[in-house]
């Protein structure tokens, strides 16, 4: 919880084959995933050949009992998709945010398509050009528009759904996990060939409803059983007989986002056999084994809730030190507390977390946290603990040092904003004012996830990105950053602009 990063989106979709309204399922599936995006939310259902859409800004709202009929009337049908979004692409003024809210739709020559998307597209300029040629007046509001229009182009040119999706997988570089509905109400989902963002499939107990969800918590809240995590490059379609899985593109290299384990995902979600909280506990045990000198010199453990909590349990188990539960969240201060003015950043952490000074005074404290991005909130935490009388402050950070930006949908766009791209661990220790900062090793991190190294994206901690264009841009931008070039916006947008200007 050290920093206020945002992910791009959360996806949910479901189809019922016994004529039941799908709205309650997609509502709860989305509500369970509000942590994946809180700037906007949207629902889309399909009924008798028509799409019915509701989109709005902010968190998924409560549905009041007296408004239930209104919601059911607004979103009729047995098939639906939904999305929560935080903007990492497109424009961010309020008008554009409303326009860029998902699910998105496109229509052409009597055909149409609706998609809910999580990810980030790298080669947007090339795609925008292609789509603008086929759709006069095409206006790009978010990356989901690109996928939706690209799919429709392929379909209207006579290809079937599998071929259309395969073309997207082959021609679009970046991260995309998508749930969609065709003009005939066919419900489907697919993942990019690297499988960067999560998407799983599950069913209701009586097998009348089948669903896709970014995280398993979207299935859990509906009482659904998880069937599988979609494979990279896989298309899954749904009928009353269940899921039909088709591997369209095979990649030896896979690249599931490693940061999901440390920060984004809910601890009660799972991506393979382990729940995220079990992996975070393992992170804590690793940090103890990797840092016996610190453990020997500490009195208590303190966690930064909530992503540091599970690691703290692991540290406690492996070290025998007491995990002092003296740091608690102010419960109804939500993520929105961070959408404030920049000058307020230093105080927002205090608005979110309460630390009991009496438990910290005179103690040598190990603080568990998920990551250090900019370093400013970490600095505030250390200052606060010092003011409370902590004798020593040691930071155990579960995600290895972030040295480069993310090109796949996480809100870390520039080298300049990352303390770890400019400074060594020793320098960071001094800047944040701690007695020591210890990051978990990359090898320890990988082992705890249970994934193979070449099945994870570790671009932001290794500088080695899984896709070629991202790698090229990262190298170019790193060079420019070191030369003192001022970064603004998305790196690849800048790179494209520079390219156009012939620089
Ligand atoms: S670069 Fe980092 S944050 Fe981005 S997808 Fe890869 S691991 Fe995740």
Q: What is the pLDDT of residues 364-412, one digit of tens each?
A: 999 999 999 999 989 999 999 999 999 999 999 999 999 999 988 787 8
> Would you state the pLDDT for residue 339?
39
Given its phi and psi angles, is residue 305 left (phi above 0), alpha (psi -120 to 50 degrees) or beta?
Answer: beta
Q: Which residues are catalytic?
A: 9
pLDDT of residue 493: 61
What predicted TM-score, i.e. pTM, was given to this entire model?
Answer: 0.92
Task: Name the residue of 6, 259, 403, 451 to mutate for ligand 1: max ligand atoms within 8 A of Cβ.
Answer: 259
Distance from C-alpha of 36 to C-alpha of 165, rounded to nearest angstrom: 25
- pLDDT tens figures, 99-112: 789 999 999 989 99
Any ligand 1 atom below 6 A from CB of 415: no
Residue nearest to atom 2 of ligand 1 (CA): 460
Task: Give the phi and the psi of residue 272 in degrees, each rounded to 5.
Answer: -135, -130
Minimal CA–CA distance to 410: which of 58, 87, 90?
A: 87
The CA 202 to ligand 1 mean position distance, Å, reads 26
Pocket test for ligand 1, best of 258, 371, 421, 461 (most atoms within 8 A of CB): 258
Q: What is the tens place of the pLDDT at every residue in 141-189?
A: 889 999 999 999 999 999 999 999 999 999 998 899 999 999 999 999 9
Residue 336 banded pLDDT, cuts 50, 70, 90: very low
Residue pair 98/40 in contact (Cβ under 8 Å)? The answer is yes
Q: What b-and-e string marks burial along 335-366, b requiring 16 or more CB atoms within 10 Å of the CB?
A: beebeeeeeebeebbeebbebeeebbeebbbb
Contact 325, 260 (CB under 8 A): no
CA of 457 to the centre of ligand 1 (A): 6
Cis preceding-peptide flag for 306 (omega within 30 of 0): yes
pLDDT at 340: 45
State what percent of residues in the chain have pLDDT above 90: 74
């Amino acid at each position: 919880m050290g920093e206020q990063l945002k992910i791009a989106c959360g996806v949910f979709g479901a189809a019922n084959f016994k004529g039941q309204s799908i709205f309650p399922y997609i509502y709860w599936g989305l509500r369970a995933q509000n942590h994946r995006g809180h700037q906007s939310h949207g629902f889309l259902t399909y009924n008798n050949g028509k799409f019915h859409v509701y989109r709005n800004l902010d968190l998924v709202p409560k549905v009041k009992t007296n408004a239930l009929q209104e919601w059911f009337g607004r979103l009729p049908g047995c098939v639906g998709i939904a999305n929560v979004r935080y903007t990492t692409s497109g424009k961010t003024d309020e008008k554009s945010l409303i326009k860029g809210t998902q699910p998105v739709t496109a229509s052409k020559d009597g055909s149409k398509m609706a998609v809910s998307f999580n990810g980030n597209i790298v080669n947007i300029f090339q795609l925008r050009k292609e789509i603008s040629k086929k759709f006069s007046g095409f206006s790009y509001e978010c990356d989901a528009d690109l996928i939706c229009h690209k799919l429709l182009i392929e379909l209207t040119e006579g290809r079937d759904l599998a071929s259309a999706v395969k073309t997207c997988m082959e021609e679009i570089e970046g991260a995309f996990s998508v749930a969609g509905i065709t003009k005939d109400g066919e419900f489907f989902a697919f993942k990019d060939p690297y499988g960067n963002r999560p998407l799983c499939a599950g069913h209701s107990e009586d097998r009348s409803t089948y669903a896709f969800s970014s995280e398993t918590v979207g299935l859990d809240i509906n009482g659904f059983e998880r069937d599988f995590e979609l494979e990279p490059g896989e298309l899954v379609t749904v009928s009353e007989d269940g899921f039909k899985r088709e591997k369209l593109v095979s990649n030896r290299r896979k690249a599931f986002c490693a940061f999901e384990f440390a920060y984004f995902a809910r601890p009660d979600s799972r991506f393979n056999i382990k729940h995220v909280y079990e992996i975070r506990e393992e992170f804590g045990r690793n940090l103890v084994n990797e840092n016996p000198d610190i453990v020997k010199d500490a009195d208590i453990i303190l966690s930064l809730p909530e992503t540091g909590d599970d690691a703290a349990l692991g540290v406690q188990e492996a070290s025998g030190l007491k995990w002092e539960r003296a740091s608690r969240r102010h419960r109804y201060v939500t993520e929105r507390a961070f959408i404030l003015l920049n000058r307020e950043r230093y105080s927002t952490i205090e608005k979110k977390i309460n630390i009991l000074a009496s438990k910290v005074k005179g103690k040598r404290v190990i603080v568990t946290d998920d990551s250090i991005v900019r370093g400013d909130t970490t600095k505030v935490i250390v200052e606060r603990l010092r003011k409370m009388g902590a004798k020593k402050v040691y930071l155990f950070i579960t995600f290895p040092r972030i040295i480069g930006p993310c090109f796949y949908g996480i809100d870390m766009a520039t080298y300049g904003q990352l303390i770890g791209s400019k400074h060594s661990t020793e320098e960071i220790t001094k800047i944040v004012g701690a007695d020591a900062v210890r990051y978990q090793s990359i090898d320890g991190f990988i082992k705890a996830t249970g994934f193979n190294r070449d099945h994870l994206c570790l671009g932001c901690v290794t500088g080695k990105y899984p896709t070629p264009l991202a790698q090229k841009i990262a190298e170019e931008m790193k060079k420019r950053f070191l030369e003192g070039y001022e970064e603004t916006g998305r790196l690849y947008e800048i790179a494209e602009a520079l390219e156009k200007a012939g620089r």
